[in-house]
Amino acid sequence: MPLTMTASARSEEHELALLLSGRCRRCAERIPGGTALRGRPCPRCDEQTLPTSTDREVLHQLASERATVRLGIAVAVVALAALVASWVPLLTSLLLVAALVWLRVTLVTPALQLLTPQRRLVSRWTLRLAAGCFVALSVLVLELLTLIPAFGALAKVAISAGQVALAGLFARRYLAWQTEREARGVSVAFWEMGLLVGWMLMLLTFTAASVLLVLYALQSLGLVQGFLAAPMGGH
């Protein structure tokens, strides 16, 4: 009996893992976005995905738990790497970008597979533009700290880890909100698409300010003059 229960539990875990990756739990073929969260059958083998609301809630919780674990890994790695990179201009910002890319691959992309095409498109661009605004704003903060010799380097370690945690928390909660609405069959609201324009304007503003600040930071450290003078000295 225990062996039967163990085999059954393993089979259920395997089926949930397939559904989390956007595949049918019987034929393992890819299923359209929103199929599992809305309890629709697989279009290829007609297998029921998650027929009850309880099953769909379990899938939603598993997706959130997996996202939390991966976010914790990203925060820890950035904090350790920032101990070395905090003394170099732009390097901490590049670490932040790398962490956000990793979160996109491991946290965002799997969650988007659970959504219908329209909701997936809106969610993807909302998170992309929000991440762009976040990176530009983070560059403003981190490169200002570069100008403060001792305290700035130590502060960048804590702030960069906190920034990754904040960005990941926003993405996780936003995707959890979208998957919950998907499971309840709520359509994408018009204001969600209009919000993309606001994110775009914020991104342009923060990016322009970040570029100006990076140039100022490099100039203050004498790196711009050194770069411009190098060809003249060699010539």
| Structural domain boundaries in the chain | 53-227
Its pTM stands at 0.66
Show the 3-state SS of 85-154.
Answer: HCCCCCHHHHHHHHHHHHHHHHHHHHHHCCCCHHHHHHHHHHHHHHHHHHHHHHHHHHHHHHCCHHHHHH
- pLDDT higher than threshold 60 for residue 233: no
CB count within 10 Å of CB 184 equals 11
- pLDDT higher than threshold 50 for residue 1: no
Cα–Cα dist 235/233, whole Å: 5
Question: How much is the mean pLDDT over the chain?
Answer: 76
pLDDT of residue 5: 45
Instruction: Please tell me the total number of residues recorded for the chain in this structure.
Output: 235
Write the CA distances from 2 to 16, 43, 92, integer angstroms.
Answer: 21, 35, 51
Cα–Cα dist 208/127, whole Å: 20
- pLDDT tens-place string over residues 69-99: 777 777 777 777 766 666 665 677 777 788 8
Find the mean pLDDT for residues 164-172.
85
Indicate the SS3 state at residue 37.
Answer: coil
147 against 110, higher pLDDT: 110
pLDDT of residue 124: 92
